[in-house]
Structure 1
Amino acid sequence: MIKEIAQTIVDLIFDWGYLGIFLLMAIESSFIPFPSEIVLIPAGYLASKGDMSISMIMASALGGSLVGAFINYYLALTLGRKILKRYGRYFFIKESALDKMDGFFAKHGHISTFIGRLIPGIRQLISIPAGLARMNLIVFSTYTALGAGIWALILTMLGYFIGENQELIDTYLKQITISVVVVLLLLGSWYAYYQKQKAK
Structure 2
Amino acid sequence: MSWVQDWGYAGVIVLMAMESSIFPVPSEVVIPPAAILSAQEGASMSFWGVVAAGTFGSWLGSAITYAVARIVGRPVIMRWGKFFFMPPHKVEKAEIFLQRYEVSGVFFARLLPVIRHLISIPAGIVRMGFGIFSLVTVLGSFAWCTVLAWYGHRIGERHPELLKSPEELIRTVKSESLPLILAVLVLAVCYILMLRLTDRNKPEKAAADTSAEKEQ
TM-score (norm 2): 0.73
Aligned partner (choices 55, 63, 75) of residue 68 of structure 2: 75
CA contact (8 A) 1:48 1:161 kept: no
- Which amino acid in the other structure matches residue 20 of structure 2? S
CA contact (8 A) 1:162 1:169 kept: yes
TM-score (norm 1): 0.79
CA contact (8 A) 1:31 1:124 kept: yes
For 1:75 and 1:60, how far apart are their aligned partners in 2? Answer: 23
Structure 1 residue aligned with 2:198: 194
Aligned partner (choices 29, 33, 39) of residue 42 of structure 1: 33
Task: Show the 5 A alignment for 1:1-200.
Answer: 9=1, 11-50=2-41, 51=43, 52-83=45-76, 105=99, 108-163=101-156, 164=159, 166=169, 168-197=172-201, 200=205
In the superposition, relative to structure 1, how do residues 162 and 132 fare at CA in structure 2: closer, same or farther (>3 Å)?
same
- Which amino acid in the other structure matches residue 174 of structure 1? L
Q: Flag structure 1 segments of 5+ consecutive residues without an equivalent.
A: 1-8
For 1:13 and 1:84, how far apart are their aligned partners in 2? Answer: 32
For 1:54 and 1:85, how far apart are their aligned partners in 2? Answer: 40
In the superposition, relative to structure 1, how do residues 16 and 191 fare at CA in structure 2: closer, same or farther (>3 Å)?
same
In the superposition, relative to structure 1, how do residues 21 and 136 fare at CA in structure 2: closer, same or farther (>3 Å)?
same
Range that drifts further, 46-55 or 128-137: 46-55
- Which amino acid in the other structure matches residue 119 of structure 1? L
In the superposition, relative to structure 1, how do residues 85 and 125 fare at CA in structure 2: closer, same or farther (>3 Å)?
closer
CA contact (8 A) 2:69 2:77 kept: no
How many residues align structurally? 181
Range that drifts further, 168-177 or 18-27: 168-177
Aligned-residue Cα RMSD (Å) equals 2.8
Task: Percent identity, please.
Answer: 33
In the superposition, relative to structure 1, how do residues 43 and 85 fare at CA in structure 2: closer, same or farther (>3 Å)?
closer
For 2:185 and 2:142, how far apart are their aligned partners in 1? Answer: 16
In the superposition, relative to structure 1, how do residues 36 and 92 fare at CA in structure 2: closer, same or farther (>3 Å)?
closer
Structure 1 position 13, deviation (Å): 1.2
